Chains A and B, each alone.
Chain A
Amino acid sequence: MRAHPVRLAGVAVVAVVVLAPLGLVLYQSLLNAPFFSPAARGSLAAYRYVLGDSDFHGAFLTSVIIAFGMVAIAMPLGGLLAFLVARTDLPGRRWIEPLLLVPIFLSPVVLAFGYVVAVGPVGFFSLWVKALIGSVPWNLYSVGGLILIAGLTHVPHVYLYTASALKSLNPELEEAARTAGAGVWRVALTVSLPLVTPALVFSGVLVFFLGFELFGLPLVLGDPAGILVLTTYLYKLTNLLGTPSYHLMAVVAVAIIAVTLPLVYLQRHLLRYANRYITVVGKGLAARPLPLGRYRWPALVLVLAWLAVTVGVPLSGVALRSVVATWGEGVRLTEVLTLHHFRELMEYPNLIRGIVNTLVIGTVGGGLAVAVYAGIALVSHRWQGRGAMLLDYLVMTPRALPGLIAGLAFLWIFLFFKPLAPFRSTLFSLWLAYTVVWVAYGLRLISSALYQVGPELEEAARVAGAGQARVYRDVTLPLVRFGLLGSWLLIFMIFCREYSTGVYLLGPNTEVIGSLIVSLWGTGALDLIAALSVINVLLIGAGLAVALRLGVRLHA
Chain B
Amino acid sequence: MPELVVEQIHKRLGGNEVLKGVSLSLARGEVIALLGHSGSGKTTLLRSIAGLETPDAGRITLGDRTVFDADRRIEVPPEKRGLGLVFQSYALWPNRTVFANVAYGLRLRRAGDADVRRRVGEVLDRLGLGKFAERYPHQLSGGQQQRVALARALVYQPPVLLLDEPLSNLDAKLREEARSWLRQLILQLQISAVYVTHDQVEAMAVADRVLFLRDGRIEQEGTPQDMYEHPASAITADFMGTNNRLTGTLGAMADGRGRLDGEDFGLWGRLCSPIGVGSASTAFIRLERTRLADGSGENRLAMRLETSLYLGERWEYLLTRGGLRVRAWGRAPLPPGERWVEFPADDLWLF
Q: Does A474 contact B (CB under 8 A)?
A: yes
- Cα distance A466–B82 when bound, in Å? 10
- B91 adjacent to A460 (CB under 8 Å): yes
Interface size class of B (residues with CB under 8 A): 20 to 34
- B79 adjacent to A457 (CB under 8 Å): no
- Cα distance A459–B54 when bound, in Å? 14
Report the minimal beta-carbon distance from B208 to chain A, rounded to whole angstroms: 23
If A464-B104, A464-B108, A465-B105 touch, whether A459 touches B78 (CB-CB below 8 Å) is yes
- A456 adjacent to B75 (CB under 8 Å): no
Q: Does B87 contact A (CB under 8 A)?
A: yes
Which listed residue (A1, A463, A478) contacts B54, Cβ 8 A? A1
Chain B residues closer than 8 Å to A464, beta-carbon distance: 79, 104-105, 108, 152-153, 156
Residue of A nearest to B104 (CB): A464
- Cα distance A478–B94 when bound, in Å? 10
Report the minimal beta-carbon distance from B69 to chain A, rounded to whole angstroms: 15
- A470 adjacent to B108 (CB under 8 Å): yes
Report the minimal beta-carbon distance from B215 to chain A, rounded to whole angstroms: 24
Chain B residues closer than 8 Å to A478, beta-carbon distance: 95
- A465 adjacent to B75 (CB under 8 Å): no
- B79 adjacent to A465 (CB under 8 Å): yes
Q: Does A454 contact B (CB under 8 A)?
A: yes
Q: Does A72 contact B (CB under 8 A)?
A: no
Chain A residues closer than 8 Å to B162, beta-carbon distance: 463
Q: Does A475 contact B (CB under 8 A)?
A: yes
- B85 adjacent to A460 (CB under 8 Å): yes
- Cα distance A474–B100 when bound, in Å? 11
- A466 adjacent to B79 (CB under 8 Å): yes
Which listed residue (B83, B93, B94, B95) contacts A463, Cβ 8 A? B83
If A456-B89, A459-B52 touch, whether A1 touches B75 (CB-CB below 8 Å) is yes
Chain A residues closer than 8 Å to B77, beta-carbon distance: 1, 462, 467-468
Q: Does A461 contact B (CB under 8 A)?
A: yes
Q: Within residues 76 to 110 of chain B, which ones have a CB less than 8 A from any CB in chain A?
A: 77-85, 87-89, 91-95, 104-105, 108-109
Q: Within residues 142 to 196 of chain B, which ones have a CB less than 8 A from any CB in chain A?
A: 152-153, 156, 162
- For chain A, what secondary structure do more than half of its interface residues adopt (helix, strand, loop), or is it mixed? helix
Q: Does B51 contact A (CB under 8 A)?
A: yes
Q: Within residues 32 to 65 of chain B, which ones have a CB less than 8 A from any CB in chain A?
A: 50-52, 54
- B78 adjacent to A462 (CB under 8 Å): yes
- B50 adjacent to A479 (CB under 8 Å): no
Residue of A nearest to B162 (CB): A463
- A461 adjacent to B51 (CB under 8 Å): no
Q: Which of A1, A461, A464, A468 has the most CB of B within 10 A?
A: A464
Which listed residue (A2, A459, A468, A479) contacts B87, Cβ 8 A? A459
Chain A residues closer than 8 Å to B84, beta-carbon distance: 463
- For chain B, what secondary structure do more than half of its interface residues adopt (helix, strand, loop), or is it mixed? loop
Which listed residue (A2, A454, A465) contacts B91, Cβ 8 A? A454
If A465-B156, A467-B79 touch, whether A460 touches B87 (CB-CB below 8 Å) is yes
Chain A residues closer than 8 Å to B108, beta-carbon distance: 464-466, 470
Residue-wise interface mask of A (456-491) relative to B, using a CB-CB cutoff of 8 A (1 in contact, 0 not): 110111111111101000110011000000000000
- A463 adjacent to B104 (CB under 8 Å): no
- B50 adjacent to A463 (CB under 8 Å): yes
Chain A residues closer than 8 Å to B54, beta-carbon distance: 1
| Total residues of chain A contacting the partner, CB 8 A | 20
- B78 adjacent to A463 (CB under 8 Å): yes
Report the minimal beta-carbon distance from A498 to chain B, rounded to whole angstroms: 34
Residue-wise interface mask of A (430-468) relative to B, using a CB-CB cutoff of 8 A (1 in contact, 0 not): 000000000000000000000000101101111111111
- A461 adjacent to B104 (CB under 8 Å): yes
If A470-B108, A474-B104, A479-B94 touch, whether A463 touches B89 (CB-CB below 8 Å) is no
- A463 adjacent to B79 (CB under 8 Å): yes
Q: Within residues 9 to 63 of chain A, which ones have a CB less than 8 A from any CB in chain B?
A: none
Which listed residue (B79, B88, B95, B153) contacts A479, Cβ 8 A? B95
- Cα distance A474–B108 when bound, in Å? 11
- A463 adjacent to B52 (CB under 8 Å): yes
Chain B residues closer than 8 Å to A457, beta-carbon distance: 91, 93
Which listed residue (B51, B88, B95, B156) contacts A462, Cβ 8 A? B51
- Cα distance A2–B68 when bound, in Å? 14
Residue of A nearest to B155 (CB): A464
Chain A residues closer than 8 Å to B92, beta-carbon distance: 460
Chain B residues closer than 8 Å to A463, beta-carbon distance: 50-52, 78-79, 81, 83-85, 153, 162
Residue-wise interface mask of B (267-285) relative to A, using a CB-CB cutoff of 8 A (1 in contact, 0 not): 0000000000000000000
- Cα distance A2–B70 when bound, in Å? 13
Report the minimal beta-carbon distance from B63 to chain A, rounded to whole angstroms: 17
Which listed residue (A2, A462, A468, A475) contacts B93, Cβ 8 A? A475
Chain B residues closer than 8 Å to A467, beta-carbon distance: 77, 79
- Cα distance A474–B93 when bound, in Å? 10
Chain A residues closer than 8 Å to B79, beta-carbon distance: 462-467, 470
- B105 adjacent to A459 (CB under 8 Å): no
- A459 adjacent to B91 (CB under 8 Å): yes
Chain A residues closer than 8 Å to B81, beta-carbon distance: 463
Report the minimal beta-carbon distance from A216 to chain B, rounded to whole angstroms: 42
Residue of B nearest to A478 (CB): B95
Report the minimal beta-carbon distance from A459 to chain B, rounded to whole angstroms: 5
Report the minimal beta-carbon distance from B52 to chain A, rounded to whole angstroms: 5
Chain A residues closer than 8 Å to B80, beta-carbon distance: 465
- Cα distance A478–B105 when bound, in Å? 17
Residue of B nearest to A475 (CB): B93
Chain A residues closer than 8 Å to B105, beta-carbon distance: 464-465
- A462 adjacent to B89 (CB under 8 Å): no
Chain B residues closer than 8 Å to A460, beta-carbon distance: 85, 87, 91-93, 152
Chain B residues closer than 8 Å to A454, beta-carbon distance: 89, 91
- B89 adjacent to A465 (CB under 8 Å): no
Residue-wise interface mask of B (216-253) relative to A, using a CB-CB cutoff of 8 A (1 in contact, 0 not): 00000000000000000000000000000000000000
- Cα distance A466–B78 when bound, in Å? 8
If A463-B50, A467-B77 touch, whether A456 touches B95 (CB-CB below 8 Å) is no
- Cα distance A46–B202 when bound, in Å? 77
- A465 adjacent to B109 (CB under 8 Å): yes
Chain B residues closer than 8 Å to A2, beta-carbon distance: 75
Chain A residues closer than 8 Å to B94, beta-carbon distance: 479
Residue of A nearest to B84 (CB): A463
Residue of A nearest to B73 (CB): A2
- Cα distance A463–B194 when bound, in Å? 15
- Cα distance A207–B222 when bound, in Å? 63
Report the minimal beta-carbon distance from A383 to chain B, rounded to whole angstroms: 13
Question: Beyond A457-B93, A464-B153, A470-B79: 4 further Cβ-contacts under 8 Å?
Answer: A463-B83, A465-B109, A478-B95, A479-B94
Question: Top 4 nearest A-B pairs by Cβ distance?
Answer: A456-B91, A464-B105, A465-B108, A462-B78
A-B contact pairs, 19 of them (CB 8 A): A1-B54, A1-B75, A2-B75, A456-B89, A457-B93, A459-B50, A459-B78, A459-B85, A460-B92, A460-B93, A463-B50, A463-B153, A464-B104, A464-B156, A465-B82, A465-B109, A468-B77, A470-B108, A479-B93
